[in-house]
Structure 1
Amino acid sequence: MGRYARAFGLLCLVGTAQAHDIKLSTWNLDWLTVRPAGDPAIPPDVGRRTDQDFARLAAYARRLNADVVAFQEVDGPAVARRVFPTDAYRLFLTDDPVSQRVGLAVRGDIAVTVNPELTALNVTGPQASHPLRGGLDMTLRGGSATLRVLVVHLKTGCWDQPLTQKAYSCPTLRQQFAVLDDWVLERQDEGEAFAILGDFNRRLTLADPMMQALEADAPMTLTTAGHASPCWGGEYFIDHILLGNAARQWLVPDSLRVMLYRDAKEEDRARLSDHCPVSVTLRLPDDPAPAGG
């Protein structure tokens, strides 16, 4: 599976960050909802969190201590606030008519511009019985540098099958990667530093054909490349952070981290999440670097 990304759990690990260091994280919160049992928007086998479960997730969010958290599978802003309180973060979510929405929690000292949602990622169309998620597209400013951020949660099922595979949701995922490719080409044309992060539902590696298709148009850094995740005893990464243009030079070496649920047992997985937060640190310059990758 490759060498494990470094796990962490202490706030002091981020205490030495400089003025324009930004800790960027992605965290799938696994059907985070307060809808009652029997609600048609939620599968019947999805468990419901108790107040204690929400308190534990909020405690883990404090321990994560990220400046920017891309989150997935969150059922609206009221639910998100129970994990990311408004005294610490501003919250932004897509307008998707689904219970598994994506969003971004941003520290108050980071300037934010909200760009049009990337609705094209819902390749099944808005009238589908089970529509897919759009992408949250935002621009962050730290110091004098800007970072364009796209938060995604792609179609599940096509973990590592070849591009020719016609089952396992692979045709749908290929369509979504084509949408990502168009978005990346726009960032290239505009010379913007960018990051794509979230749950790709794909075990991306540098040799993966979907990753290679993206890189054919724009060199990118797959921050999880060469690593396996220690989450819940060890697994391949499907939660990724991709960096392009000047953001590749901003990556602090060896800053990839996976936050484990310390003292949690296997039976706690459904009460917390089946995903662990993944993060990297970017060191934004006082003066923006050239955009070329």
Structure 2
Amino acid sequence: MNIRTVLVASLIADLAACTASQAPIRNAATDTVATRPLKVASWNLEFLAEKDGAGCEPRTDADYAAIREIVNTLDADVVAFQKAENEAAAARVFDPSRYTTVMEKRPGAASGSCGGKQPGQQFIRQAVGFAIRNGIAFDRNPDVTALQLGNPQLRSGVDVRVRAPGHQPTRLLAVHLKYGCFQGDRAQACGVLQQQVPVLEDWIDRAAVGSDRFIVLGDWNRRLAEPADAVWTELDDGNPANADLRLADEGVTPRCDPRYRSFIDHIVFDRRAAGQASGFAEATYAPGQKHLSDHCPVSALLAD
């Protein structure tokens, strides 16, 4: 069985439990029409390049086709994605007939060689973005450039407000925080991450007093669900009231890579969204099969 078949089968199993199409459904008992939940997802695509063979995870055309099939089977309404080179790279896996992509405006020109398992390969730009299902209206807010801390190689946050048919508006922030400070505060990267946290908290606090529910999602590079995690404690302070946050993956053990017991890819709901959220899922690869990315997609549902 090839990786495409394995992962698509896993995704179909997830989708059987929770689907998120925007098509209306009818309740036979009451003869009323309801809107299906909004499905939001996040996926770090690991050096998704515009051209075959480029970047630190060189891929073939067949690999891109397989990733696109995964995206189509995931069938999310909004996907926060990380580590894509540019809009052309994103379009290779997010079918433009289905999705509109929005990416951070930071130039982020990459330099240097990949080394390690890919000697001779060159780094590509690693950018954050959203793929938004066509037919869902959205507004783009300014990128959260303060997350860069003045360093062009750190990522901005991408901030949008989506207005899906049948749903109240939802504000979404896609992030990809500093790599290397997964827990505690002793790793070399922790000093940078600790500077990003107040920036993120400021965005959360401002959004918390706004009129729209909000979600922060992406690759946090931090095991927020670990007991008494300092980053989570600082962010989830309930002040303002809507900054009482909820981790979608709370109580769930990841299956993507057996080496890791906690997620670093998170979907975080504010107090308003948390009361309408459900259906957290992770799409996984089969043991021994090729991983098309070193991360697996995570998703959750949001009712009106």
Tell me if TM exceeds 0.5.
yes
Once residues 95 and 280 of structure 1 are traced to their aligned partners in structure 2, the CA distance between those partners, rounded to angstroms, is 27
Conservation of the 8 A alpha-carbon contact between 1:60 and 1:261: no
- The letter of the residue matching 1:149 is L
Which residue is 1:290 aligned to? none
The yes-or-no answer on 1:228 pairing with 2:253 is: yes
Which residue is 2:30 aligned to? none
Structure ranking higher on relative contact order (CA contacts 8 Å, 6+ apart): 1
Which residue is 2:98 aligned to? 88
Deviation at 1:168, TM superposition (A): 2.4
Which residue is 1:3 aligned to? none
Which residue is 1:159 aligned to? 182
Once residues 160 and 10 of structure 2 are traced to their aligned partners in structure 1, the CA distance between those partners, rounded to angstroms, is 28
Which residue is 2:267 aligned to? 241
Match for residue 11 of structure 2 among 5, 9, 24: 9
Secondary structure of 1:207's counterpart equals coil
State how 1:98-137 maps to structure 2 within 5 Å. Answer: 98=108, 99-126=125-152, 131-137=153-159
Once residues 200 and 85 of structure 1 are traced to their aligned partners in structure 2, the CA distance between those partners, rounded to angstroms, is 26
Match for residue 232 of structure 2 among 196, 199, 211: 211
State how 1:1-293 maps to structure 2 within 5 Å. Answer: 8-10=10-12, 11-15=15-19, 19-34=35-50, 46-98=56-108, 99-126=125-152, 131-142=153-164, 143-162=166-185, 165=186, 167-205=187-225, 207-216=228-237, 217=239, 218-233=243-258, 235=260, 236-252=262-278, 255-262=279-286, 265-266=288-289, 268-269=290-291, 272-284=292-304
Conservation of the 8 A alpha-carbon contact between 1:32 and 1:75: yes
Deviation at 1:209, TM superposition (A): 1.1
- The answer for unaligned runs of 5 or more in structure 1 is 1-6, 285-293
Conservation of the 8 A alpha-carbon contact between 1:26 and 1:277: yes
Deviation at 1:14, TM superposition (A): 3.9
CA RMSD of aligned residues (A): 2.1
Secondary structure of 1:190's counterpart equals coil
Deviation at 1:228, TM superposition (A): 1.4
Once residues 35 and 118 of structure 1 are traced to their aligned partners in structure 2, the CA distance between those partners, rounded to angstroms, is 28
Once residues 285 and 52 of structure 2 are traced to their aligned partners in structure 1, the CA distance between those partners, rounded to angstroms, is 26
Conservation of the 8 A alpha-carbon contact between 1:112 and 1:139: yes
Which residue is 1:287 aligned to? none
Once residues 72 and 203 of structure 1 are traced to their aligned partners in structure 2, the CA distance between those partners, rounded to angstroms, is 17
- Give the count of matched residue pairs: 259
Deviation at 1:249, TM superposition (A): 1.1
Secondary structure of 2:257's counterpart equals helix
Deviation at 1:20, TM superposition (A): 4.4
Conservation of the 8 A alpha-carbon contact between 2:20 and 2:77: no
Once residues 87 and 96 of structure 2 are traced to their aligned partners in structure 1, the CA distance between those partners, rounded to angstroms, is 10
